[in-house]
Structure 1
Amino acid sequence: MVQGMVQPKMAIVERLSKQIGKDLPRYESRFRQTFPDLNYTGRIYFMYSLGGFDGATRSVQGQEALLFGLDMMAYVYGNDADPEPFFDHELFHIYHSQFLEDGSNIVGYLWREGLATYVAHALNPKAAGVALFGLPRNTPERTQADLPRYARELHAVLTSESKDDYTRYFMGGYDEKAATPARSGYYIGYLVAEKLAKRHLLQELAHAKLSQLQPEIELALTELEAPAASK
């Protein structure tokens, strides 16, 4: 089954492998210029994941490792596959974990994923669409179409630790009739981070504790709930 999924995308897998082999040192150097206090000495693997993941962290020989599945990157993103913003998003998660306390509620996920998405865009201004937000491709458009309602509904469950709420906002899905666009939490979180970035440097946002930022996050959501936010 995995072979059947990926075989049509093998040209993209090969293209990604060559691109990454050439450009990875530049990706990491540029990231460290923006975030010089990155404390990561683990390995970075770009590999064939057998359909397991596009990006993940795993323990390899007792050390945290950052893994990228070229097969799933090709399958999910197709010809739009761009490893640079994807690399920045995943490496930022590792960097952010140096400072952010573990939060298993919705506001924690919203901030982690929203800021990582915003950082990926800040470091790659030309990146857009699926390269930033993943699948489904129409999540930004569907969310923007009724943004005040989606922001209000997410705001109401910020403290929730429910698996159902997490799935509703952060898991992929392809049901066009779903009440909430799949992975809309990524897009709304990005808009929240964009607002906070107007008042803070990226390094300040990365270093801040969630408890310090939550009032500003809630204010940003309140602003997104205004009818004019969707226009």
Structure 2
Amino acid sequence: MRDAYVQKVARFTRELPGHIASFRAAFPDYPAKTDVWFLHSLGEMDGGTRTFDDRTHFIFGADVMVKVHGQGDEAAFFHHELFHDYHDTGCKSEPVWVSLWGEGLATYVSKQLNPTANNAELLLDFPPNLVADTRKELKRALDDVHAKLDSEDRSDYAGLFFGRDGGAGGLPARRGYYLGYLVAEEIGKDLSIQQMAKLDCGAARTAVTAALERLRSAQR
């Protein structure tokens, strides 16, 4: 484990500047000013932001990256996390649809910037077979998330975005990432990733509900 950890640290140090540069090529107005910390997270996270003393920091957990990602290409993962640092809908609350949009769009953007990335590199294979298992129940999964779009119940959020339990009904855990990706992919038929990133809260809500309805209609 230690050797894998050391390799991950070395690779991170070597590759992160290039990932930031390629992200800024797609989103030139990204300021890249958030402090980046690469550390042992004691099993908490592979990547994300945390706020300390009113200042946002990018935290990457080498230990969880090794455990979940292995030694695969991290470009899509870094672009996913950088997009979260860049993207802001301006929504004042966080019902399910906001996370569906944010996580789905981050996954879609990372795929557009890394067209050869596989499901594992897009973090769509955690838990294993996430995409295949969700597709087996796609109609029910789409209907389920549609019914929860405006929910702020943490149990609804957990079933969609946490990796432990998909909630009542036996649907796959963490399926919200893939469903959100499908929503973003549908919206991407008409808008560029740059246009999608700039949608404000109201416009994003309209786009998400319309795209989700089209996806549901295709399953009938």
- Per the normalisation by structure 1, the TM-score is 0.86
Q: Give the gaps of 5 or more residues in structure 1.
A: 1-8
CA-CA distance at 1:200 after TM superposition: 0.6
Tell me the percent identity.
35
| Preserved contact between residue 142 and residue 179 of structure 2 (Cα < 8 Å) | yes
Given that residues 158 and 166 in structure 2 are in contact (C-alpha distance below 8 angstroms), is that contact kept between their aligned partners in structure 1? no
Query: CA deviation digits over 1:51-109, x for unaligned, max 9?
Result: 22111212357532111001111112234x43221111111111002x43243101111
Which residue of the partner structure matches residue 125 of structure 1? 115
Q: CA deviation at 1:219?
A: 2.1
Counterparts in 2 of 1:86-105, with a 5 A limit?
Answer: 86-97=77-88, 99-105=89-95
SS in 2 for 1:52: coil
**Counterpart Cα distance in 1 of 2:168 and 2:205:** 31
Q: Residue 155 of structure 2: which of 146, 151, 164 is its match? A: 164
SS at match of 1:225: helix
TM-score (normalizing by structure 2): 0.90
In structure 2, the residue corresponding to 1:58 is in which secondary structure?
A: strand
Q: Is the 8 A contact 1:82 1:131 kept in 2?
A: yes
Q: Is the 8 A contact 1:140 1:187 kept in 2?
A: yes
1:47 aligns with 2:39: yes
Distance, in Å, in 1 between the alignment partners of 2:152 and 2:53 is 32
1:16 Cα deviation from its structure 2 partner: 1.9
Give, in whole Å, the separation in 1 of the partners of 2:173 and 2:166: 8
> Does the 8 Å contact 1:147/1:224 carry over to 2?
no
> CA 1:101/1:177 → structure 2, altered by over 3 Å: closer, same or farther?
closer
Partner residue of 1:173 out of 164, 169, 186: 164
Equivalent position amino acid for 1:112 in 2: G
Find the aligned partners of 2:27 and 2:67 in 1 and give their Cα distance. 31
Q: Which residue of 1 aligns with 2:9?
A: 17
**CA gap 1:197/1:59 in 2 versus in 1, 3 angstroms:** same
The RMSD of aligned alpha carbons is 2.2
Instruction: Provide the rounded CA distance (Å) in 2 between the counterparts of 1:13 and 1:72.
Output: 9
Partner SS for 2:126: coil
Report how many residues are paired: 219
Gaps of 5+ in 2: none
Following TM superposition, by how much is the alpha carbon of 1:44 offset from its aligned partner in structure 2, in angstroms?
1.1
